[in-house]
Chain A
Amino acid sequence: MLRPQARRAIGRVSLSRRLSSQVPATAKMTMFAAINDAMRVALATDPRAVVFGEDVAFGGVFRCTMGLLEEFGKERVLNMPINEQGLVGFGIGMAAVGGTAIAEVQFADYIFPAMDQICNEAAKFRYRSGGEFDVGGLTIRAPANAVGHGGHYHSQSPEAYFAHTPGLKVVYPRDAITAKGLLLACIRDRNPCIFFEPKVLYRSSVQEVPTGDFMLPLGKAEVLTEGSDITLVAWGAQVHVMLKAAARAAEEGISVECIDLATILPWDMHTIRDSVRKTGRLVVTHEAPLTAGFGAEICATIQTHCFDSLEAPIARVCGADTPFPLALEKLYLPDELKVYDAIKQAVSY
């Protein structure tokens, strides 16, 4: 059961959605169906778009590529050998000569073999050629975040590694609507994008999603709930934890401004800065380990820009600096209560 404040928040989401997207029609979709729909639009509108990855031909282990093979043929929907560096490299080659490469890495935890291809190749392609070549047509989708029973290798949130690599865009949707809009924007963006999909939301996020061609802007954070006492920032699945914690705090009369960062790189500092100048307090929360997580970047930058406005130390509520655990996942995660507690401490500082 969502608390009233959270319900209001969701009301605002759909309002802002209506304002930002002039969309004629919607259909009820899960997040995986919305992602599927985004790829369908990409394939239908761009004859040089190709979807590929491990197990994508039969629909993908999370069902995101269902029906695409049947609709677009085996030349454009390709199974890949189990080889992340190879499949990402293959996509870089396609994109380098004007193709649109939509790659799926089956889990974000398995993106590391492709680290070299992503960080040394894709990210530097434009710079090292003086802009003669680029791989803007490359998008890498990868399911990320905790799922309740994933253990070390089906739970990680590796955005900070990629946020440290100039040339990439790193994007996190929070639900079905943003998944469709941001994914299509990534596919068409002229820079290589990594699109982390919160796997726990594939089926649980069900919304009225705009049908047809629908994009949301990259590099823009979204204020989900307006507030005056404290600013909260999260992305991906953690957005929902943040909203619940904010709702709990609201019951005690704390007015919380919740922001979904949405794009990790290049991140929207200005929206957060403006919010913190107003509220004077900031809590950043993410699932990834605390140390050198992307929250650190936000805190460092915001204290520079908002030093005179701050009423309390900026706090981070993050995963522990441990490998992602299995049995003790609940203890590891920055859950609603931990975020709520951080809000309380900040406002009573």
Chain B
Amino acid sequence: MERQFPSSIGYFPPSKGSSSRSMRSARLLRVARSEARRALSSSSGLAEENAALRMTVAALQRERETLLSAAKSSGVQTPIVSLNEKSKFVGAQGEFSPELKFWYPDIDSTPPVLPCFRLIDDVGLPVQGSDAAMPPLEQEVALACMRTMLRVNEFEKIFHDAQRQGRIPFFLTSRGEEACAVGSIAALRPTDWVLPQYREMGAFFWRGFSFQEVANQLCANEKDPAHGRQLPLHMGSKERHILYVKSTLGTQCPHAAGVAYSMKTAGSDQVAITYFGEGCASEGDVSSALNIAAVHGCPTIFFCRNNGYAISTNTRDQYVSDGVAPRGLAFGMPTIRVDGNDLLAVMAATKRAREIATTEGRPCLIEAMTYRIGAHSTSDDDSKYRTAEAPEAGWDNERAYWEARSPIIRFGRWMQALGWWDVAAEEAVRKQARKEAIASLNAAQETARPKAFTLFTDVYDELPWTLAAQHDSLKAHLKSYPKAYDNLAASADL
């Protein structure tokens, strides 16, 4: 029975309702799952396949509504829900819960395994009991979230391929984790400070970065405000309240405590959010930051994307605790684990975290459970280390299982059920994004490299004599060997 009636139809009383109807639901779900599997086999038609899947699920939803109203009219207690469903995330397994509950270490006695907060299930249906916590989401905002996730997705595909073609030196994608960045950033104010790790493209697009701006950074051209000094994806913007990405891990977490403290003492109600992965959480700086932020009541939201892998390292080699969440509790801050592939849950949790940070003057930890669909970056081959077995029978492999539960698919189904979304809309956004991404790549590549003198600027506020001397020396050298560095600079640039 458990195997035949998987989690997502646990809403229905298996025996009290009509068995033929339950069986029908099960059949629909099986169809949905085979559609999902098929979708994975052909990435080119992914949007269409996803849409087909969503339509199947929409049928399931209608079925469910019929059932509910029938049950209501016949006086049957409805619905009986399996809340015991366990999550199968790589990083922590526990029960799902529709309750938006931050666990307070100073008030609650916390369970050995923290539940995972979710509002919609794997097939995009609102879970029973989700009404209370469902964020009041206007259609316009929902559409913006969806568009941003799709634009991230398409942009990343183009630039991932560009790296493979040797057009940029490095890239990584947030594929499968789009809801973490988008759901959380959409819950904040535009002036709240963001301290990213490096897999939060959605936050950049949400805050108004254009494809062209990102492309300029990725191609390290002269239009990159940081003069092409950092690896691709290492962006930031003061105007958009995003601090620059860097490659060091977790070092931004203590900064987030300091930023938030500075806002608080300046009398501002701005908060700081910082993102990091579960692997990064093993860095000492993360523990340092959690502790300092808690001790000094910094309005900081620590957002851990637990995506199961740190480059090749599975979470079982990263920790033996119940994920990362217990560390928030241990350091004395309200903590929640959330289904990171459920944009609505991420958004609701982040909104609440912001409230706690500002009204209670203390930090929060959100552990968002997700799955890294892509490799760590373009520098590793994930087929060498990724777990082959799916966490549930009926799926080709672990990746396939999670790709079918990607936040874009789930949120899309939820929107579709409200009549806010359809296959044509998705395809239109994807097509447009693809076109824009290619255009931005081409334009960025045609733009000149940064000026040679920017090698020496911005080390200090003013050029010290040492750098002035090195500048002059390089200039003289370029003059002596005018052809040797032609592709980079001429002495005239200095």
Task: Give A residues with C-beta under 8 Å from B.
Answer: 48, 50, 75-76, 78, 80-81, 83, 85-99, 101, 113, 116-117, 120-121, 124-134, 136, 166-167, 169, 190-191, 219, 266, 269-270
Please, how many angstroms separate the alpha-carbon atoms of A90 and B253 in the complex?
Answer: 8
Whether, in the assembled complex, B296 has its beta carbon less than 8 Å from a beta carbon of chain A, the answer is yes
A134–B461 CB distance below 8 A = yes
B465–A93 CB distance below 8 A = no
Interface string of B228-263 (1 = CB under 8 A from A): 011000101110000110101001011111111111
B284–A94 CB distance below 8 A = no
B258–A83 CB distance below 8 A = no
Contacts of A76 in B (CB 8 A): 265
Residue among A80, A130, A269 having the largest count of chain B Cβ atoms under 10 Å: A130
B265–A129 CB distance below 8 A = no
Closest 10 CB pairs of A and B: A93-B258, A89-B254, A86-B288, A93-B255, A266-B464, A130-B226, A99-B262, A90-B258, A94-B258, A190-B461
Q: Which of B111-119, B166-174, B416-424, B452-460 contacts A (4 or more CB under 8 A)?
A: B452-460
B460–A191 CB distance below 8 A = yes
In chain B, residues 197-248, which have Cβ atoms closer than 8 Å to a Cβ of chain A? 224-227, 229-230, 234, 236-238, 243-244, 246, 248
Please, how many angstroms separate the alpha-carbon atoms of A292 and B113 in the complex?
Answer: 52
Contacts of B224 in A (CB 8 A): 130
A83–B288 CB distance below 8 A = yes
Please, how many angstroms separate the alpha-carbon atoms of A132 and B227 in the complex?
Answer: 11
B466–A81 CB distance below 8 A = no
> How distant is B480 from chain A, measured CB to nearest CB, in Å?
19
- Count B-side interface residues using an 8 Å CB cutoff: 48
B254–A48 CB distance below 8 A = no
Please, how many angstroms separate the alpha-carbon atoms of A117 and B289 in the complex?
Answer: 12
B254–A126 CB distance below 8 A = no
Whether, in the assembled complex, B266 has its beta carbon less than 8 Å from a beta carbon of chain A, the answer is yes
Please, how many angstroms separate the alpha-carbon atoms of A129 and B458 in the complex?
Answer: 9
Whether, in the assembled complex, B291 has its beta carbon less than 8 Å from a beta carbon of chain A, the answer is yes
Taking a contact as CB atoms closer than 8 A, the residue among A90, A95, A99, A128 that contacts B257 in the complex is A90
Whether, in the assembled complex, B285 has its beta carbon less than 8 Å from a beta carbon of chain A, the answer is yes
Contacts of A95 in B (CB 8 A): 258
Taking a contact as CB atoms closer than 8 A, the residue among A48, A91, A129 that contacts B244 in the complex is A129
A86–B292 CB distance below 8 A = yes
Interface string of B273-297 (1 = CB under 8 A from A): 0000000000011001101100110
A130–B229 CB distance below 8 A = yes
A126–B459 CB distance below 8 A = yes
Contacts of A90 in B (CB 8 A): 254-255, 257-258, 261, 289, 292
List the A residue with the shortest CB-CB distance to B270: A97
Residue among B227, B237, B255, B466 having the largest count of chain A Cβ atoms under 10 Å: B255
Taking a contact as CB atoms closer than 8 A, the residue among B234, B251, B253, B292 that contacts A87 in the complex is B292
Contacts of B296 in A (CB 8 A): 78
Task: Give B residues with C-beta under 8 Å from A.
Answer: 193, 195, 224-227, 229-230, 234, 236-238, 243-244, 246, 248, 251, 253-263, 265-266, 272, 284-285, 288-289, 291-292, 295-296, 454, 457-461, 464-466
Please, how many angstroms separate the alpha-carbon atoms of A96 and B256 in the complex?
Answer: 10
Q: A97-B193, A190-B461 are in contact. Are A129 and B285 (CB under 8 A)?
A: no
Taking a contact as CB atoms closer than 8 A, the residue among B229, B266, B291 that contacts A86 in the complex is B291
B461–A126 CB distance below 8 A = yes
A-B contact pairs, 10 of them (CB 8 A): A86-B292, A90-B289, A93-B257, A93-B259, A99-B265, A117-B254, A121-B248, A125-B244, A126-B460, A130-B227
Please, how many angstroms separate the alpha-carbon atoms of A93 and B243 in the complex?
Answer: 10
Please, how many angstroms separate the alpha-carbon atoms of A332 and B108 in the complex?
Answer: 57
Contacts of B288 in A (CB 8 A): 81, 83, 85-86, 89
Contacts of B285 in A (CB 8 A): 85-86, 89, 116-117
> How distant is A139 from chain B, measured CB to nearest CB, in Å?
14
Taking a contact as CB atoms closer than 8 A, the residue among A80, A129, A266 that contacts B292 in the complex is A80
Taking a contact as CB atoms closer than 8 A, the residue among A101, A167, A266 that contacts B465 in the complex is A266
Please, how many angstroms separate the alpha-carbon atoms of A101 and B195 in the complex?
Answer: 19
A167–B460 CB distance below 8 A = yes
Please, how many angstroms separate the alpha-carbon atoms of A175 and B80 in the complex?
Answer: 78
A266–B460 CB distance below 8 A = yes
A130–B458 CB distance below 8 A = yes
Contacts of A91 in B (CB 8 A): 258
Please, how many angstroms separate the alpha-carbon atoms of A95 and B243 in the complex?
Answer: 12
Contacts of A130 in B (CB 8 A): 224-227, 229, 454, 458
Contacts of B259 in A (CB 8 A): 93-94, 96-97
List the A residue with the shortest CB-CB distance to B298: A90
> How distant is B466 from chain A, measured CB to nearest CB, in Å?
6
B225–A132 CB distance below 8 A = yes
B284–A85 CB distance below 8 A = yes
Please, how many angstroms separate the alpha-carbon atoms of A177 and B291 in the complex?
Answer: 37
> How distant is B152 from chain A, measured CB to nearest CB, in Å?
23
Contacts of A81 in B (CB 8 A): 288, 291-292, 295
